[in-house]
Amino acid sequence: MEQKQQFIDYIEQSIIQNWDRNALTDYKGATLQYKDVARKIAKFHIVLESANIKPGDKIAVCGRNSAHWAVTFLATLTYGAVIVPILHEFKADNIHNIVNHSEAKLMFVGDQIWENLNEDAMPLLLGIVLMPEFNPVVCRDERLMEAFEHRNAIYGQRYPKNFRPEHICYRKEASPEELAVINYTSGTTGYSKGVMLPYRSLWSNIAYCHEMLPVRPGDHIVSMLPLGHVFGMVYDFLYGFSAGAHLYFLTRMPSPKIIAQSFAEIRPRVISCVPLIVEKIIKKDILPRVDNRIGKLLLRMPIINDHIKADARKKAMEIFGGNFDEIIIGGAPFNADVERFLKSIGFPYTIAYGMTECGPIICSSRWETLKLASCGKATSRMEVKIDSSDPQHVAGEIVCRGANLMLGYYKNPEATAQIIDANGWLHTGDLGTMDKDGYVTVRGRSKNMLLTASGQNIYPEEIESKLNNMPYVSESLVVLQKDKLVALIYPDFDDAFAHGLQQKDIEGIMENNRIELNQQLPAYCQITKVKIHFEEFEKTAKKSIKRFMYQEAKG
């Protein structure tokens, strides 16, 4: 595989070339410049060295997005150790399991996470270190304690005339196949698996971002997707940092209000986002502002006059800061009606399709060329096929291989053999079609596909996409119960109560929704019953609903 540049070169060059620029900011908090990041990395390396941590050893990091999370990640990889990012949304026992399974030697944690953890459940760790103070709260090794106590003195002796760009010379990956990251999947279908991403996967994904996106040194990027997940890790953080951008970390889960406020101020150049956030903003902020009377009708109207279109586009651009080249949407299926609306007003969005196992990019195209409902073409250095007798018309499993692909699952050769075949093709578990130009459209997950007694294949995501646009529906799940299709609905109670509706009114509206929805569906996928949920469905960090928790709900 042709690879002129290594991943670590991206980091090294960016620090040297952007030395005096702002690098990492906790929104409404402190800012680190590229030179500050370099100095923190140097001290970090002194600690690892003194504590006898070796290249190839594992270091876990778990906390909300922050500048110090980013420093921990960069310092680990530039030292040659393997980083194990853990999503802060995971429950304590899941975090303990991941730390133990990965055999991490050190763990860096945010203070909110640390309160819920039990160090006795993680006996292999030499130490647990609090971010951002960089202080050990658990230390089981004398050398480690000494390393922390004397790091500033050693740093002073090593760099008596201050730390300068010429001091930067990080350990390079020995081979593109060397392990860089173990990323534990969010587990929509059950227990997490450790995805082993080599340096070539990081390099290839970041190279693709450089080929496709226009970020220049000094541009702003908002990091709101969890850094512990590869989508946010690559598109926002590693690409942004390697491009010399100024990254802002939203330390809280981004509500539409926080997004509107922070984006207006920061004016990011590119935005990566999960569909849920865009859908909420379009439905709650754009449609009502365009014209209250037509509101949700706009989603269904094939022809909107140019004035309304221009107005809607202007308002949508403003909400996201008005300075972005495109919004990259990924991580879950996008609502078909919202997408059609965005396409009709010329809003610059694109859909990226990927998996943790490809670190993450499999398909993506620029917004100008993206076809409606598709997720673009195979990305650079990747091949994509549809396992079907007629890939244009009959959905088959999406399979792929190439530079982005993982090495396998950590300590789990059986699971690796189940997903990567003898010819190196990764079987995604997703069903899709591919048109004559190579554009891929995802139909649904094969494991979500419902098979009725009459042998019909039903893609629940397609029904849910329609249902979620109906009055007072916040989110929905379509499940099979006793061979009948049932819609589980979490209503938008705030909106309903604001309009003076009672619970029995909401039940009546949901029943009307069911009847209206069935008029749009073929006979074999009609919804026979609606069940109201009074709490949001449980979700993974990517904001996908954990379907497996609801599949067995008996009716």
Is there a domain that residue 255 lies in? no
- The per-residue pLDDT for 188 is 38
Lateral strand order in the sheet of 82-86:
135-139, 127-131, 106-110, 58-62, 82-86, 179-184, 194-198, 408-409
The stretches of 159-229 forming alpha helices (DSSP H) are 199-212
Give the number of other CB atoms < 10 A from CB of residue 430: 22
User: Taking 60 as the threshold, does the pLDDT of residue 190 lie above it?
Assistant: no
β-pair partners for 475? 490
Give the pairing of strands 450-451 and 457-458: antiparallel
Instruction: Provide the pLDDT for residue 290.
Output: 66
| Residue at 413 is within a domain | no
Give me 534's structure tokens.
């009074």
pLDDT tops 70 at residue 344: yes
Residue 301 confidence (pLDDT): 63
Q: Is the residue at 430 inside a domain?
A: no
| Residues 154-184 pLDDT 10s | 999 999 999 999 999 999 998 999 999 999 9
Are the C-beta atoms of 336 and 466 separated by less than 8 Å? yes
Confidence of residue 249 (pLDDT cuts 50, 70, 90): very high
Check if the beta carbon of residue 14 is closer than 8 Å to that of residue 243.
Answer: yes
Q: How confident is the model at residue 363 (pLDDT cuts 50, 70, 90)?
A: very high
**What confidence score (pLDDT) does residue 89 get?**
79
Note whether residue 440 is domain-resident: no
What confidence score (pLDDT) does residue 283 get?
82
pLDDT of residue 333: 77
Instruction: Specify the CATH number for the domain of residue 538.
Output: 3.30.300.30
Residue 294 pLDDT class (50, 70, 90 cuts): low
The residue among 240, 263, 289 that closes a domain is 240
Which two structure tokens, joined as six digits, stand for 386? 């549809």
Q: Across 408-552, where does the E strand assignment appear?
A: 408-409, 426-434, 440-445, 450-451, 457-458, 473-481, 484-491, 529-532
Give me Rg for the CA atoms of the chain. 24
C-alpha distance from residue 264 to each of 249, 256, 316, 364 (Å): 15, 12, 12, 27
Residue 530 CA to residue 271 CA, distance in Å, equals 36
Give the mean pLDDT of 292-318. 73
In a domain, 14, yes or no: yes
User: Which of 211, 240, 269 is the last residue before a domain boundary?
Assistant: 240
| pLDDT surpassing 90 at residue 284 | no
**Cα 442 to Cα 461: distance, rounded to the nearest angstrom:** 10
Q: From CA 14, how far away is CA 131, in angstroms rounded?
A: 24
Do the domain assignments include residue 381?
no
Task: Please calculate the CA angle 104-226-172 and round it to the nearest 5 degrees.
Answer: 50
Considering the domain boundaries, does residue 179 fall inside one? yes
For 317: left if phi > 0, alpha if psi spans -120 to 50, otherwise beta; the answer is alpha
Q: Range of 519's domain?
A: 460-549
- Residue 136: CATH number of its domain: 3.40.50.980
Number of domains in the chain: 2
Check pLDDT > 50 for residue 482: yes
State the burial class of residue 305 (Cβ atoms within 10 Å of its Cβ: 0-12, 13-18, 19+).
exposed
Task: Determine the 3-state secondary structure of 469 from DSSP.
Answer: coil
Within a domain: residue 151?
Answer: yes
Mean pLDDT of the chain: 90
> What pLDDT score does 149 carry?
94
Has residue 454 got a pLDDT over 70? Answer: no
- pLDDT tens profile 2-46: 456 899 999 999 999 999 999 999 999 999 999 999 999 999 999
Residue that terminates a domain, selected from 196, 224, 240: 240
User: Which segment of 206-215, 328-337, 511-520 scores lowest on mean pLDDT?
Assistant: 328-337
Q: Is 19 helix (H, G, I), strand (E, B) or coil?
A: coil
Q: Average pLDDT of 246-267?
A: 89
